[in-house]
Each structure stands twice: as C-alpha cells, then as structure tokens.
Structure 1
C-alpha cells in the first residue's frame, strides 16, 4: 500500500517522493490544496516548467477518450533529453483506464501527477493507486490548526518575515478551509508588512476582516457588556453613515439568541469553555464574550430577546428616523441593564 496519511503529506513533498513511485494521485476536498500540491510535485521534477517538451498538461476527459495516450506520453523521450513531468487535471469523465495503462508501462525519467477531487475509499482510481508499488495517493483535506500554523510560518518565511505567536493564532482563526484562499490571505498580509522583520497582531487586525462588520460587533459587544457610552457613540456613527437600524437590531437579536443557546447548552461549563466552543467567534471578541456569558443569565437573555424582537418589528413599520431612535433606545436600555447587573 502506498497511501499517504494526510498529516505526513507536506513532509513527504518537501523531502521528495520515492523515485520508484512515478505516478502520484493528489485528491481531496480542499481543491486549493490539491492544485497547490499537484503543481509543486509536477514543476519541481523538471528543470524548466515552461519548457513544453519537459512539462505536459493533459485533461482527464481527453484521456477518457484515448486511454493509451498517457502511457504513450510517459514513454516518450524529451527532444533534448532530461526529466519530464505530466500533470493531469480531472474532468467530468472517468479515466482510470488511462492511469492503469500508464502504471503497466515502462516509464523512466518521467513523473505523472494526477489531480482529482474527493475520492471515496472504494473509488477505482484511488484503489488502483493505493495498491500499486509505482504510485502514491496523497489526500488533501482542510488544514487543521497545526497545518495552518506551519503554512503561515513557511509562507511568511519565504517573504523574509517572522510572525508573533499572538498574530499567528489570530491569523489562523480567520483562515478558511481552502488552501488557495488561505495563501491569498497570507499573501495580502505579507504585502502589507513588507519592509518589516515580523508580522504583529496589529498587522493582522489591519488586513483581516471587514471594518463595518467590526464596528457592528463592537457596538453589540458594548451593549451586552454594559457599556452605554460606547453604544451611544456607535449608534450615532451608524446613523451618520446611514446603516439600516433594522440591521443593527437584527444583529443584536442574533447575538442574544446565540448567548442564550450557549448558556443553555453549556450548563455547568465556565465562560471560557463556552466562548471556546462559540463557532466563528473572532479572536478579538473572545474576552468580551466570556464576560457577557458570565454576566447574563438565561432568564435575562430571554427578556432581551423578547425586547429586541419587538424592536425589529417596530423598526420595519417606522420611518428611517424613528427606526434609528428605536434601535438606539433598545440597545441603550439593554446596556444600562447589563451595567447595573
């Protein structure tokens, strides 16, 4: 069996696959990671990826119509000699027969990299490659925390940058499950921090996230943390910028419902443990949300939910100016109640 464990894939690619495995299947749910690894494995094998005689790109649908072509290409000697790479991108048609023919051919100085999507354990292509001594099957699934940290460090290091631990944790918390998107975000951060030695938490906060969404979250957190002065300033700013009051109250309602559900489902747990399980919570809000979970009881949250729900309906029926007044009043009322508690 030549299946590679997901956690061992990056190390294997860095040191180089076993030369006896001339065909490498790269598959999985993370399409960005599949594309990145397939590109790296194919291009690193040849001296010049831009040489059309050394680097061949084939489509899976083409091979489905002509199963013998992959073996023919793999057995072809380059015009000027040297190593060759063939990268195959899966299409809509199965081409396992072409891969099987290539594995049965005599291949020297050529690496075949097959790029596929998510393949079940019993998929014929995966079964064939995992069972062949001449092939490797490398899975690509969304990065876990350790893989994300390694990706961040490695990518920034290539740009001559280090990163503070707090900044790394904050950046990792904001990266998604697609390697291509993660690399894009890290690239933007590296560009922003160009000329510096290290990336700081301030750099991450400046590049990652949406400013208006951050302000809205700040107003909502101030509301449930019992900070009426901050709520008043935020509401006046939103009114000046023309944000729909119903959006503000609706966001506060969703936050109250999430607080309530978290308290009810996590009975007996500490506020820190409850905040840690809050899906999608931005790192910068963690301390505030912990304090809110400690401050609010389920009964008081239920009253806030009722009040916010009534205000959402009132905002829909009112004129823009009156709706803004409704929104400010309810948030200030909740903040005052939280402060007194």
Structure 2
C-alpha cells in the first residue's frame, strides 16, 4: 500500500520507486496538480517535445473508452527509449482504464493521471493507494512555508532579492493555487524592472490592494463578532470615501458564500473539505473555517435578509441608509458573538 501525506509529495517524487508505473495526482489545487504532472512527464522521457515519447490523452476520451489508455500504455515505442502518458483531468470515472494497468503495469511507459479533489473513498484514489505498482500524490493549496520557498526560488532566478518581512507580506496576499501564485510573482518581478530588491512598496503596488484588505478585514470582523475590529475597519473605509452600500454588498456576498458552504457542511461534508475547494488565500482559510463553524444555515439566511434590506435602504436614502448600514453590521457582529457562545 502506497499512501503519502501532502507534505511528503516533493520528497517522494524526487525519489520515485521504479516499481511505481502509474502516478495519480489529485487535490483541490488544480495548478499544483498540473505543475507536478508536467514536471514528472518532462523528466520521464528523453525529449518532452517528441509526441511519440510524451503522449497526451484527454481524460474524457479515456473515460469513454478505457481500452485507449491500456492500448497506449502497452504500445512499444517505434524508436525505443522512455515513454510517458499524461492524462488530463476529467469529472468522469477512470477506474476502468486504470485497473488493468495496476494489475499488469506497463514496462514501457509511465502513466500519469491528473485528477480533481478526490474524496478518501473515491474508487480511483483508493485503488492507487492500495496498489504496489501505483502512487497517489495529494496536491493541496500552498501553505505559507511552501509559498515562501516558491517566492525565494523565483526571486533568486530573476537575479533579485527579498527580505523576510517582504516575503511574508507577499505570501499573505497570494492564493492557494500554485499556478496563480506564480503568475502573481511573475507580474511582481516584471514590475520591479531593474530594481534588485523586492520591497513591500513593489508588492502593494502590483499584488496588494490596501482598500481590498481593509474591506476583507471588515467582512471578517462581522462574521467573527469582533466589534473593535469592525469599528476600526468601518472608520477607515468611511474616511476613504467608501459608500456604505458597497460595504454592505461585500458582507452580503460573503454571507451568500457562507450560506452555500454551510449547506454543504450540513449535508455531510467536512468543513475543511468545503473550504479546501474554495482555493482561498492561505491566511483566509482559518477565518473561513471558523465562520462556517460558528454560523448555521438559519442564522446565515437571517443575515442575508437583514443585509438585503439594509442595502435597499441605503439606495433609497443615503443619509438614513448610512446609519442603517452601521446598525446592520453591528447587529450581525453581535449575532456572531452569540453564535460562538452557543
């Protein structure tokens, strides 16, 4: 049985057991799944540009005709050499295509399967974890430590440097998807131009959005019941001229997101599983998990109604609407505090 933890992935992939002839990459981080699949495919053949050595197959086509993958895996290369088959993600079941290759592994080709966020009981994941000839590799969103390594790697490759505080600041703004994080860092490096030191001013100019962060602070304070933080965030946003209706709109959007997520939780899904599928920036994961634990569907439905009425009031009368917006936000924050104490 070969089942590894997410933090063991890089070390395991660097020392692949030759007995593993089928590698399954799965998880909520589609960017990381793709990146690892592509990297393994490149190192598993002599010439990644040779279509006879590196074969790409559509996951939907394989699911529709499982024997396609079996036939391709057992095809002997015309010119010899190492071969790899990379199967793209699909929402359709691939177990019928994979089972024959687990039972009788291809000696000529390494088969790489890319998949989405598979549950622990998913038949494909279970089959690969139990097989001696396969390896299942979980791909979860980048933790802060992983993001730090990616930042250092890319900054160094660009011939630049970044201090610890700036690196931590950048990591706090990046998301949980590996490819998206890399694109943001690439934009940052391009923006820095000839500057050899990446600073927080560079980061805030191209990656960070101060107003957005303050708005997020207000939203999070409401659903966490943090009244002093809510007061501070609302004061800052008001001083910057942000319309109360916009503030309410941001909180309403979050309430709707939480309501949909909470309904999934109440249908039987684990909170971590639901939040993991959202691809949130790393620092917001714990905040979202805490909000889902504190609020149930009934209270979130009540919050949506309250916020909808407050938004309408601000549109009908700006002056009275401003006071109504404050009252609505504080009412919800107090409701959150009572939820925590229930």
Normalising by the smaller structure, the TM-score range is 0.5 to 0.7
Aligned to 1:132: 131
Q: Residues of 2 paired with 1:90 and 1:173: CA distance? A: 29
Write out per-residue CA displacement over residues 112-134 of structure 1, whole angstroms, 9 at most, x where no aligned residue: 11001111222111111111121
Deviation at 1:96, TM superposition (A): 0.7
| CA shift in 2, pair 1:249/1:43, >3 Å | closer
Q: CA deviation at 1:102?
A: 1.6
- 1:9 — aligned with what? 9
Q: What are structure 1's unaligned runs of at least 5 residues?
A: 253-275, 281-310, 331-341
- Residues 179-328 of structure 1: pairs in structure 2 closer than 5 A: 179-210=178-209, 213=212, 238=241, 244=243, 246-247=245-246, 279=287, 316-318=315-317
User: Superposed, which structure 2 residues align to 1:28-67 within 5 Å?
Assistant: 28-67=27-66
Give CA-to-partner distance per residue, 1:39-83, whole Å, 9 cap, x none: 111122123222111111112232223222222211222222211
Say whether the 8 Å CA contact 1:56–1:85 is kept in structure 2.
yes
Offset of residue 180 of structure 1: 2.0
- Counterpart of 1:92? 91
Alpha-carbon distance between aligned partners in 2 of 1:217 and 1:27, rounded to the nearest angstrom: 30
Question: Cα distance, 1:9 vs. partner?
Answer: 1.0
Give the structure 2 partner of residue 117 of structure 1: 116
- 1:316 deviates by 4.0
CA contact (8 A) 2:21 2:105 kept: no
Instruction: Indicate if the aligned counterparts of 1:74 and 1:86 stay in contact, CA closer than 8 A.
Output: yes
Give the structure-1-normalised TM-score.
0.64
Greater C-alpha Rg: 1
How many residue pairs get aligned? The number is: 266
CA contact (8 A) 1:28 1:116 kept: yes
Q: Indicate the residue corresponding to 1:295 in structure 2.
A: none
Q: CA deviation at 1:211?
A: 6.2
Paired residues of 2:22 and 2:112 also in contact (CA < 8 A): yes
Instruction: Give the direction of change, closer, same or farther, for the CA distance of 1:196–1:78 in structure 2 (3 Å limit).
Output: farther
Provide the aligned C-alpha RMSD in A. 4.0
Report if the CA contact (8 A) 1:246-1:323 is conserved.
Answer: no
TM-score (ref. length: structure 2): 0.64
Deviations 1:73-116 (A, max 9, x none): 11222222211110112323212121111223352342111001
- Within the alignment, does 1:70 sit opposite 2:69 as a pair? yes
Gaps of 5+ in 2: 218-227, 252-283, 289-309, 327-342
CA gap of 1:77–1:314, structure 2 versus 1, over 3 A, is: closer
